[in-house]
Structure 1
Amino acid sequence: MINTIASNPRLIRVTYVLLLIVSYFTIYNTIFDEKVSLVGDNASYYILGNSIANGDGYTNIQHSEKEAHYHYPPGYPVVIAAVVKVFSNDIITIKKLNGAFLLGAILLLFFIVKRLTENDHIAFSVSFITLLNYYILGYATIMMSEIPFLFFSLLCVLVFLKIDFSKPIFKNWLFFLLLICLSFSFYIRSVALALFVSMVCFLCFKKQWRYVVGLIGGFIVLYLPWMLRNSDAGNTYVSQLFLKNPYQPEQGSIGFSDLIERISINFGRYITKEIPSGMLSSNEVVYTDASAPITEWLLGFLLIIGIVFGIYKLQKFRTFILLYVLAFFALLMIWPYIWYGTRFLVPLIPLLIFLFIFGMISLLKWLQEKIIPKQLKHFTTITTVVLLSFWAFMYGSNSVSKLKDRAKGDYGDNYKNYFALADWVNKNADDASITAVRKEGLFYLFSKKNVTTYQKTLDKEAQLAYLKNKNVDYVVVEQLGFSSTSKYLVPVIDRYPNKFKTIKQLQNPNTYLMQFLPELGYSGAWKDGKRNGYGTYVWEDGQKYIGYWKNDVRHGEGAVSFATGERLEGVWTDGKLNGEVIKKTKNDVIIERSIYKNNVKIEVINEAN
């Protein structure tokens, strides 16, 4: 039986594919996580997909304005919308779709490696180890675009490798399939630009000018509708790309020196953190300001050397693979370094694993030819099997174990509180209510009520005006591990405590749902953080003061109105009434004139009859 399989290449290939499929279902069912991911993007994709499926267009249905959406490209939401229309909007169903994309990506990778190396064994080894990758498996269980993009980008690579560029363009159906897949990949993630650039450069290198024109022209035509739709709004990703810090826009745009610093930081981080972690580790990367130890640099460079050697030893499409890797990393180098994490490397991890394994096998073959005695003719095969088996067992078992534990785990207390407040809003708030929150997509999934974010501005008055303009009813103060709430929202609450009434408070950690009452409390001029100048103060019982302030207290001419409609007009000194005070009805009829001293009426000058 074994000899029959070994002597039949097609049977070997079918056996390997079946092994990959069986392994996928076994592993994926073990690590599948039914919980909603805490990555805010996944909720946004789900919301946009439902917006399309429900006939609301590509809009932010979580907002009261239901305005058009421009930030995320529509590729992955379109996929979600298709699932919603055909099956259901159940989140678990959509998560499992990403699992199906993972299986497709693994099989595509098998055939890509087979085409590049003409070796089924290497193709299986690379595909199986990739299937065990901690990050790829993890992203296959959440509603994010990484795995769908991985599938379509690998499909583009496989189609590109199969195209016969000696054929006329209009008789080459694979080329038109490539155009569609490449454009759709770009609609999923902008990093597909690396694929496009590498393919164009490769065709230029091969002097396939008609295909160059066809690829560029077809890509522009297919992407033009999205470009035209976004022409007025601008490309939000591009605008964020050129900010020093997309999460702190007040820092402004980058200059040339900032760009050099960004490239330097990204280069060091990818060498010491992202590449080793993405290929070999199942531990979450820890980022610190401290310099990376020499061991991390050494490991990173050893992996790079192995990858480069793997590219060098390729006999087919070496130039294209090199161009794709370089173009991908060129984009990552200019990425804002605040956008850190292995997630940005996920689409390239399978290719890096392949190149490293192929480089390692090529090195072992060279050692056998040059150094190892001829009697050890099976040195390369045995050593390769041992090393790959050790890699698959040690790394794979750890990845599966960690992801399995994560699937069984619960949300942290900070997110439990956050979702509990969303549930309170769902059950108690008016359907038209609006809540200002840090992660609006996640809050909307649990509250089913309108949400908005707050402005990323240090200007307290601008923040207050924004909340008023958005007709916000509630705000949430949480501890989700981000600094923006405490940086941008809390200072406004501290300045205007009477405008924010605590409705519900949860502890460990302290999490607040506050009703926003813009008409209450102080509104007016400030100086050095204190009320100074002309302003108004409104109490909950309907009492209102309109007049002048100094050093945070009433000082100067002013008037107090009561819920009954009556009004006192006078002069305040350091927060107390002093001098002549006139009391009037709501119709402006004088009731009495009196003298006050330190807020106490000491004499009535004239009392109306």
Structure 2
Amino acid sequence: MAERRFPSAERWLVPATLVLVHLVLAFLSASPSIHTGGDNAAYVSLANSLASEGRYVESWHPGAPPHTKYPPLYPAVLALMMLLGAKTWGAFKVASMMFTGLAVAACFLMVRKARGPRAAVAVSALFAVAPAVLFSAQWILADPLFMVLTLACLWLLTPDPDVSTRSLVLGLVAATAAYFTRSAGLPLLIAVVVWLALQRRWRPLAAFAGLFAVPGLLWQLRAGADYVSEFWLVNPYAPDLGRAGPMELVGRVAENLWTYTTEYVPAGLTGLDGLPAGTIGMLLAALALAGWVRRMRAGPQVSEIFFFLYVGLIVAWPAAWSGDRFALPILPLLLLYAGESAALMFRRLRAGDAEAAWLPWLGGAAVVAAGAVFLIPAGKTWYQRAERAAQCRAVVETVGPMGCYPGTVGELHAMALWAGRNLPEGSVVFSRKPRLFHVFSGLPSVTYPFTTDGRSLLTEADSMDVRYLVRGNWDTTGRLYVDPVLSASPNRFCVVAQLGYDRESPVSMLAIMPPVSDDVTVPDETAYAVLPCPDAVDHTLPSAAEIASMTVPILDQ
């Protein structure tokens, strides 16, 4: 559909205003804390290895093996920031915020080109204030950049009435960049290839294959089948459960489809849960499906092909990977397709009773009601998050980047800072969160085995030359998997340091001693006694200034 135009002054004023509103909302509701998941720390560590060594390696892992899971574009962006002087957690968070702002702009441009300015304002306004979009703006993850590149590609390759050569070239570059930002960009690559083939644009198709072939082949040779093999597991975080069979895959698709429809998508757009979210999600999905089918019948474009493939991907992968952030790239398309279906229903109703004076009023009321259904709960969600963020900022200023979490989380931060200052360089440490431990300490770290079999932990420690173990209170894993090993083989450990906020069970740095014999005592119910190490070390806690610093420790060594 040809793009209907605003007056020239408003043409860029409207999207600029939407972006500004989004950035203000994102800034006020963003938590200054570091995410407790490992992905944020992994991206920072990968970027640091690129910036400082020119290598794309897992510095947190013993031996720093080549990294093969996350594509390198987003870490390369962070590495460039580091080379320009960025060292704080806040600087990298601001980058995510800028990317979500650009995603709002790309959303507006895509919908304006596909449907016109009114639809663009409606869709991009809902997208700009969506809780899931605002939430993604505060973390150091690849999702915001992936959103920008995906929506930019869809905008550039939307016909108006045709796709210019310049737009085509830029769109192909954006699609390639999206894939090298997240592996979930593969559906976009396939969608572009299918669209070019349907359009019989063989030269651009050949050029696109050439553009992608060399870097794609190099990355595939490096990555191998690691990510693909995880896709077929029942649970990638519990590989012992094995691969999913045909019936399990069918059940996984059905479960994910239901969860995305009734939970993740409506929650991501409104912040609601339960029955209200399920009702909105079902209605939105039905309208969007009808709109998508209508567009497919009219002649599929890149957006429609991508929508089908991407939905297929996220409902087919393991449920452990699912969440509202994975639906972010398709939220604008869902809103666009659903809006088109609703508009078509109203036009047909009006055509059936053209003289009814109340129909225009009904249409206006329906638009206002639909906006209220999304905007009111989204606004409430934003307000609650903004209040928590304001409280958190006051705490972080004095307690540091982990200050808004329970003290048991802050213990790992303090112990990692202590370890980086006191343990021998290159020491390998068992910890609950190895990537976080590494960015705080600079030391390599691995997760201790989640098993009560003492042989597993000690055998792995000996094979990987792990010489230290953090027994913390992050969650119950220390009590479940570390304590039985300590009880069974107390002679294999000694206490190097204890830094605890919980006096009854302080976080402990334990040294793993060489084996005295091959005998392993059977665990019993008696209390174990791990003695202090004979060589004394400085047990002083990191200073308040060290703990409160918002500088990424590995960037300040």
Which of 392, 415, 424 is the matching residue for 2:418?
A: 424
Query: Following TM superposition, by how much is the alpha carbon of 1:334 offset from its aligned partner in structure 2, in angstroms?
Result: 2.0
**Are the counterparts in 1 of residues 42 and 435 from structure 2 also a CA contact under 8 Å?**
yes
> Which amino acid letter does the alignment assign opposite residue 516 of structure 1?
A
Which of 338, 363, 371 is the matching residue for 1:356?
A: 338
Deviations 1:238-263 (A, max 9, x none): 12112222112222222223322322
Deviations 1:215-273 (A, max 9, x none): 3443223312212333xxx3322121122221122222222233223223222322222
Give the Cα separation in 1 of the matches to 2:299 and 2:283. 23
Give the Cα separation in 2 of the matches to 1:508 and 1:319. 62
User: What residue is the counterpart of 2:11 in the other structure?
Assistant: 13
Deviations 1:495-546 (A, max 9, x none): 32332334324428945323133326x642469769xxxxxxx99999xxxx
Between Structure 1 and Structure 2, the one with more strand by share is 1
- Unmatched runs of 5 consecutive residues or more in structure 2: 393-403, 525-529, 535-557
Give the Cα separation in 2 of the matches to 1:467 and 1:144. 31
User: What residue is the counterpart of 2:20 in the other structure?
Assistant: 22
Give the Cα separation in 1 of the matches to 2:52 and 2:160. 39
Structure of greater Rg: 1
Larger mean Cα displacement after TM superposition, 126-135 or 265-274: 265-274
Which of 264, 287, 290 is the matching residue for 2:254?
A: 264
TM-score of the two chains, using structure 2 as the length reference: 0.82
1:133 aligns with 2:150: no
User: What residue is the counterpart of 2:286 in the other structure?
Assistant: 305
Query: Following TM superposition, by how much is the alpha carbon of 1:27 offset from its aligned partner in structure 2, in angstroms?
Result: 1.6
Give the Cα separation in 2 of the matches to 1:73 and 1:541. 43
Give the Cα separation in 1 of the matches to 2:87 and 2:159. 37
Deviations 1:135-188 (A, max 9, x none): 111111110011110001111111222598788xxxx34433333221221111
1:346 aligns with 2:344: no
Deviations 1:61-106 (A, max 9, x none): 2345233222222121011011111242222111111111111111
Query: Following TM superposition, by how much is the alpha carbon of 1:491 offset from its aligned partner in structure 2, in angstroms?
Result: 4.1
TM-score of the two chains, using structure 1 as the length reference: 0.76
Between Structure 1 and Structure 2, the one with more helix by share is 2
1:150 aligns with 2:132: no
After TM superposition, the runs of 4+ consecutive aligned structure 1 residues lying more than 6 A away are 163-167, 527-530, 538-542
> Which amino acid letter does the alignment assign opposite residue 229 of structure 1?
R
1:512 aligns with 2:507: yes
Which of 202, 214, 229 is the matching residue for 2:195?
A: 202
Query: Following TM superposition, by how much is the alpha carbon of 1:384 offset from its aligned partner in structure 2, in angstroms?
Result: 4.8
Give the Cα separation in 2 of the matches to 1:401 and 1:540. 50
Percent identity at matched positions?
Answer: 23
User: What residue is the counterpart of 2:168 in the other structure?
Assistant: 175
Distance verdict in 2 for CA 1:379–1:212, change over 3 Å: farther
Give the Cα separation in 2 of the matches to 1:528 and 1:496. 9
1:239 aligns with 2:220: no
Alignment of 1:572-583 (within 5 A): none
1:96 aligns with 2:88: no
SS of 2:322's partner is coil
> Which amino acid letter does the alignment assign opposite residue 48 of structure 2?
N
**Are the counterparts in 2 of residues 138 and 403 from structure 1 also a CA contact under 8 Å?**
no
Deviations 1:37-63 (A, max 9, x none): 222101100111111111241112234
**Are the counterparts in 1 of residues 5 and 11 from structure 2 also a CA contact under 8 Å?**
no
SS of 2:157's partner is helix
- Unmatched runs of 5 consecutive residues or more in structure 1: 1-5, 286-292, 531-537, 543-609
Distance verdict in 2 for CA 1:166–1:321, change over 3 Å: closer
SS of 1:176's partner is helix
SS of 1:243's partner is coil
User: What residue is the counterpart of 1:321 in the other structure?
Assistant: 303
Count of matched residue pairs: 511
**Are the counterparts in 1 of residues 295 and 304 from structure 2 also a CA contact under 8 Å?**
no
Distance verdict in 2 for CA 1:413–1:221, change over 3 Å: same
1:437 aligns with 2:437: no
Give the Cα separation in 2 of the matches to 1:166 and 1:113. 15
Query: Following TM superposition, by how much is the alpha carbon of 1:317 offset from its aligned partner in structure 2, in angstroms?
Result: 6.1
User: What residue is the counterpart of 2:539 in the other structure?
Assistant: none
